[in-house]
C-alpha cells in the first residue's frame, strides 16, 4: 500500500477522522496539505496537525481555505504545488451538520450543508482533476456516509449531500479510469466531535477514528486497482456497499402493474442492503455480532 513520496490533500483534517487520515498518510511517507478552517485556543487546527506531522519527521503544510467555494478548492491545489510541486491524493473529508427534522429545516441549513459536503467535494476535485489526468495518476477518496446510503432522522440535507457525493464519484470513476485516476467513496463509522452525541458510551469506545485510517491507505495506494467502490469502515470492520437492481417484470401491453407489485419491489434475488441503526451498530461493535438485518 505504497504512498511514499506522494502528495495528499486532506480536508477537514484538524480533528477527528480527517486528522487520523492525515497522520496515517504522513506516517506512510506521503507529504500533506492539512486543510481545516477551525481554530483551538486561537491556533488553526490545521497548523496543529501539520506541526504534529513535522514533529514526527514528516512533511506537511497547513491550509485554512474553505472548501465551500471554488476559490478555496483551487487555493488548496495551488498550495500543494507551491510546497511540493504536485498533487496525487485527494481525501475530501470536510463536513458540517445542521441536524433538524425536514419539516422544521430552513433554506440556510440546507444550503450550508450542501455547500460544504457536495459543493466542497466538487470544488476540490474540479481543481485537482486536470493535474491528475495529465500525470496519469491520481487517487480520490470521497467521504460519504451510511446516512447517505440509508438515511437517518433529522439529516435530510446531510444525507442528500452524501448520496450526491456517490453520484459524483460514479462519474469520475468512469472518466478517470483510463488515465489511472481511481475514485472511490468511503463511508466511515467513528466517534468524532460530530457523532459523539449520537452514540452510547459502549459503542463510542469501539469506534476510534484511527481504526478507519487503513481504508484510506488502501484507497490511496499506488498499487490500488479498484475504482467506483463504496467502502464502509469502522471499529476494525470493513465491508462494501452496492447499488443493485433486481430482475423485475416485463409487462405485456395492458397488463396491470399492481398484479406484480410485490415481486417488483421485493428485491429477493439481489444482495439486500442492511439497516445501519444504532441498534445494529451495537450488535457489530459491542456484541461482536455482524448479523445485520436485511432491509425490505
Q: Are residues 49 and 135 in the same domain?
A: yes
- Of 222, 241, 260, the residue at which a domain comes to its end is 241
Residue 294 lies in a domain: yes
- Of 215, 241, 267, the residue at which a domain comes to its end is 241
Q: What mean pLDDT is reported for the chain?
A: 91
Residue 175 lies in a domain: yes
Q: Are residues 219 and 127 in the same domain?
A: yes
Q: Are residues 168 and 291 in the same domain?
A: no
Q: Are residues 183 and 252 in the same domain?
A: no
230-234 and 237-241 strand pairing? antiparallel
Above 60 in pLDDT, residue 64? Answer: yes
User: 250 pLDDT band (50/70/90 cuts)?
Assistant: confident
pLDDT attached to residue 277: 66
Closest CA to 61 of 72, 41, 77, 74: 77
Cα–Cα distance for residue pair 215/141, rounded to 1 Å = 10
User: 275 pLDDT band (50/70/90 cuts)?
Assistant: low
Residue 2 lies in a domain: no
Higher per-residue confidence, 4 vs 251: 4
Q: Are residues 155 and 293 in the same domain?
A: no
Q: Are residues 223 and 272 in the same domain?
A: no
Above 70 in pLDDT, residue 1? Answer: no
Domain count within the chain: 2
pTM metric for this prediction: 0.89
Residue 216 lies in a domain: yes
Which residues span the domain enclosing 276?
247-296
Specify whether the CB–CB gap between 89 and 141 falls below 8 A.
yes
Grid coordinates standing for 181? 485516476
Give residue for cell 481555505: 65
Q: Are residues 236 and 108 in the same domain?
A: yes
Give residue for cell 497547513: 62
Residue 1 lies in a domain: no
Q: Are residues 223 and 293 in the same domain?
A: no
Q: Are residues 229 and 265 in the same domain?
A: no
pLDDT digits (tens, 9 = 90+) for 189-201: 998 776 766 778 8
State the Cα torsion 174-175-179-183 to the nearest 10°. Answer: -60
Specify whether the CB–CB gap between 100 and 55 falls below 8 A.
no
pLDDT digits (tens, 9 = 90+) for 95-112: 998 988 999 999 999 999
Q: Are residues 152 and 253 in the same domain?
A: no
Specify whether the CB–CB gap between 164 and 118 falls below 8 A.
yes
Cα–Cα distance for residue pair 233/282, rounded to 1 Å = 15
Residue numbers annotated as active site: 158
- Of 221, 241, 261, the residue at which a domain comes to its end is 241
CATH of the domain at 233: 3.40.50.720
**Residue 178 burial by CB count (10 A; 0-12/13-18/19+): exposed, middle or buried?**
exposed
Grid coordinates standing for 136? 496519469
| Opening angle at CA 269, ends 264 and 271, nearest 5 | 115
Q: Are residues 237 and 265 in the same domain?
A: no
Q: Are residues 54 and 135 in the same domain?
A: yes
Amino acid at each position: 500500500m505504497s504512498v511514499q513520496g506522494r502528495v495528499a490533500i486532506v480536508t477537514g483534517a484538524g480533528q477527528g477522522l480527517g486528522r487520523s487520515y492525515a497522520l496515517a498518510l504522513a506516517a506512510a511517507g506521503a507529504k500533506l496539505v492539512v486543510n481545516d478552517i477551525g481554530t483551538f485556543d486561537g491556533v488553526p487546527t490545521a497548523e496543529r496537525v501539520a506541526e504534529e506531522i513535522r514533529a514526527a519527521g514528516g512533511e506537511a503544510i497547513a491550509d485554512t481555505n474553505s472548501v465551500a467555494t471554488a476559490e478555496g478548492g483551487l487555493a488548496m491545489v495551488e498550495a500543494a504545488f507551491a510546497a511540493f510541486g504536485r498533487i496525487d491524493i485527494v481525501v475530501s473529508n470536510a463536513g458540517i451538520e445542521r441536524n433538524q427534522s425536514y419539516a422544521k429545516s430552513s433554506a440556510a441549513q440546507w444550503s450550508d450543508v450542501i455547500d460544504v459536503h457536495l459543493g466542497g467535494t466538487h470544488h476540490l476535485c474540479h481543481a485537482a482533476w486536470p493535474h491528475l489526468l495529465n500525470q496519469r495518476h491520481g487517487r480520490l477518496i470521497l467521504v460519504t456516509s451510511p446516512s447517505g446510503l440509508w438515511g437517518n432522522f433529522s439529516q435530510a440535507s446531510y444525507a442528500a449531500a452524501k448520496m450526491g457525493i456517490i453520484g459524483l464519484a460514479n462519474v469520475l470513476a468512469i472518466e478517470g479510469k483510463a488515465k489511472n485516476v481511481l475514485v472511490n467513496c468511503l463511508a466511515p463509522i467513528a466517534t468524532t466531535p460530530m457523532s459523539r452525541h449520537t452514540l452510547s458510551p459502549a459503542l463510542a469506545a469501539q469506534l476510534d477514528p484511527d481504526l478507519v485510517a487503513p481504508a484510506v491507505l488502501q484507497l490511496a495506494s499506488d498499487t490500488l486497482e479498484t475504482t467506483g467502490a463504496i467502502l464502509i469502515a469502522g471499529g476494525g470492520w470493513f465491508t462494501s456497499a452496492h447499488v443493485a437492481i433486481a430482475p423485475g417484470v416485463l409487462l405485456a401491453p395492458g397488463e396491470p402493474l399492481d398484479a406484480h407489485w410485490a415481486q417488483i419491489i421485493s428485491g429477493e434475488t439481489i444482495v439486500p442492503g442492511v439497516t445501519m441503526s444504532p441498534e445494529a451498530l451495537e450488535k457489530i461493535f459491542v456484541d461482536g455480532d455482524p448479523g445485520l438485518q436485511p432491509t425490505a
